[in-house]
Amino acid sequence: MAHDLVQRDDGPVRWLVIDRPNTRNALTLDTVDALAESLEAAAADDSVRAVVLAGTGGPFCAGLDLKAAMTSGLMDPASGLARFHRLARGLRNVLKPTIAAIDGAAAGFGADLAMGCDLRLGTSRASLGERFVRIGLMPDGGGTFLLPRLVGTGRAFDILYSGRMVEADEMARIGLLDALLPVEGFEAAVAERAAQLAAGPPLSYARLKAALLASQGDFEAALAAEGRGQLDLLTSSDFMEGINAFLARREPAFQGR
């Protein structure tokens, strides 16, 4: 499949694998669009009974490929954000079981993708972090909505304020991983769990998932709030300092402006 996304079907289970291992499976806008389109297609295809998201070669997804974005010139913020939000909605609108297979780092928007799945299965190499504050930004893929519902508000503030990577053992302890599996045979174990879910009642799954998601509150309002905040931050001097520090591999010196 084009745009560094591999799609394959294992019976009724559709695998969507981000295939940019040299960038830790970071996202370009083309990859974002392709993944959104693939999720929309999976949602509409009755032969697909479960969906697995994964990354090639270990890392799940490192979020936006900042180096590629800077090389090609920064995207128009509003249109770029709309494309990321389309992906976040596309994942949430798959009324079928979705699994994030995490055998490495899920960072930034990659963390939002992992948390947007129904289940997260990982290995001892898994980690997850909302890294946005490291470059003067905030989550923009639903992270402020999803994270506190998984780990509680206090832990969410800690993870969001620090921008730290939560390692596998802690992920399992606080609810960011639903199962911690051995590295050896990980893909087969994920495939087995996905096949079990795919054999379940699709009508029941769709209706219970819709009801459960509705009980969580207004995801659209959260995306809108994140969008407003992110667009403000993208025009700040602190954001440019964060980007320059990232590219220079140094600590940023934020000034609050």
Name the β-bridge partners of 167.
127
Note the pLDDT of residue 76: 81
Note the pLDDT of residue 135: 93
Rounded-to-integer distance, Cα 90 and Cα 73, Å: 26
Note the pLDDT of residue 163: 96
pLDDT in tens, 155-202: 999 999 999 999 999 999 999 999 999 999 999 999 999 999 999 999
- Is the pLDDT reported for residue 143 higher than 90? yes
What is the pLDDT confidence band of residue 66, given thresholds at 50, 70 and 90? confident
Global confidence as pTM: 0.94
Note the pLDDT of residue 30: 93
Note the pLDDT of residue 247: 83
Mean pLDDT of 33-55: 98
Q: How many CB atoms lie within 10 A of CB 248?
A: 9
Rounded-to-integer distance, Cα 80 and Cα 29, Å: 7
What is the pLDDT confidence band of residue 68, given thresholds at 50, 70 and 90? confident
| Residue 27 near residue 69 (C-beta atoms within 8 A) | no
Note the pLDDT of residue 9: 98
Q: Please name the residues in contact with 79: beta carbons below 8 A apart, sequence gap of 6 or more.
A: none
Over the chain, what is the mean pLDDT?
A: 95
Domain ranges of the chain: 5-184
- Is the pLDDT reported for residue 7 higher than 80? yes
- Is the pLDDT reported for residue 1 higher than 70? no
H helix or E strand, kind and range, residue 81: helix 77-92
- Is the pLDDT reported for residue 57 higher than 80? yes
pLDDT in tens, 110-121: 999 999 999 999
- Is the pLDDT reported for residue 32 higher than 90? yes
Note the pLDDT of residue 72: 62
For 208, half-sphere exposure in the C-beta direction (CA atoms, 13 angstrom radius) is 9
Least confident of 50-59, 89-98, 188-197, 241-250: 241-250
Residue with tokens 């928007």: 109
The CATH homologous superfamily of the domain defined by 5-184: 2-enoyl-CoA Hydratase; Chain A, domain 1 (3.90.226.10)
